[in-house]
Amino acid sequence: MQAQATQFAGGFSNTPVDAAHAFRAAMTVMARPGEIRTLSGAQAPVPVSGAAATLLLTLCDPETGVYLAGASDTPEMRQWLTFHTGAPLVDAAQADFAVGTWTDLLPLKTYRIGTSEYPDRSATLIVECHALAQTGATLSGPGIKNTSQLNLPDIPALQANSMLYPLGMDFFFTSGTQVAALPRSTQIAKG
């Protein structure tokens, strides 16, 4: 009975309003790499953070394949995601979205990076982090006035991804109710 309660709990309390606020926050951090925002409204089963859960409810639907990596792949999380979004669970190679810790999401070469005709057909990774801070790697490019900083889990791997632009993956980084983003167009230098 507890698994059933978990499956149905944790969604938006006021779906139209909560989803609109969450979508705006998600698009804002993607448009302003390195900026950290609060993102809440949903609560998935442990260990998925509130920010990651809110992203999943906002961005996923029955047409978007989701890969749950490592500790995020639990029966409770599978049921919760299916109930709230209808998103099909897929393997990493077919994922539109993937969620997990950096280590659990590796290797990055598993995910789609788009094609020259359709660069948007790539994966977006939701990386669960211990903490987010505006320190570490120096970011520049579209959406950043001069430079910005963000603690990134693997600067060389993310630099290699940005060198693929206009191909490559986009990233959301989540911790608790905080979210930041790193689009593939962002240039990354060691801080």
Q: Is the pLDDT of residue 162 over 60?
A: yes
According to DSSP, residue 1 is labeled -
Domain 2-189 CATH superfamily: Bacterial phosphonate metabolism protein PhnH (3.40.50.11310)
Q: What is the overall mean pLDDT for the chain?
A: 93
> What is the C-alpha to C-alpha distance for residues 60 and 123, in angstroms, rounded to an integer?
12
Q: Which helix (H) or strand (E) holds 23?
A: helix 15-31
- Measured in whole angstroms, how far is the alpha carbon of residue 112 from the centre of its chain? 15
Residue 5 pLDDT = 41
pLDDT digits (tens, 9 = 90+) for 40-54: 999 999 999 999 999
pLDDT digits (tens, 9 = 90+) for 101-115: 999 999 999 999 999
Q: What is the mean pLDDT of residues 6-16?
A: 68
pTM over 0.85: yes
169 SS3 class: coil
Q: What is the mean pLDDT of residues 154-180?
A: 97
Residue 2 pLDDT = 41
Structure tokens at 151: 């603690």
pLDDT digits (tens, 9 = 90+) for 114-130: 999 999 999 999 999 99
> What is the C-alpha to C-alpha distance for residues 82 and 63, in angstroms, rounded to an integer?
12
Residue 7 pLDDT = 56
pLDDT band, residue 157 (cuts 50/70/90): very high
104 SS3 class: helix
Q: What are phi and psi of 35, to 5 degrees?
A: -75, 140
Strands 148-150 vs 137-140: parallel, antiparallel or unpaired: antiparallel
Q: Where are the domains of the chain?
A: 2-189
pLDDT band, residue 15 (cuts 50/70/90): confident
pLDDT digits (tens, 9 = 90+) for 22-35: 899 999 999 999 99
Structure tokens at 11: 């969604």
Q: What is the mean pLDDT of residues 166-175?
A: 98
User: Could you tell me the strand order of the sheet in which 178-182 lies?
Assistant: 37-38, 178-182, 170-175, 124-128, 97-101, 66-68
Q: Looking only at Cα atoms, what is the longest distance across the chain?
A: 53
CB atoms within 10 A of CB 55: 26
Residue 12 pLDDT = 72
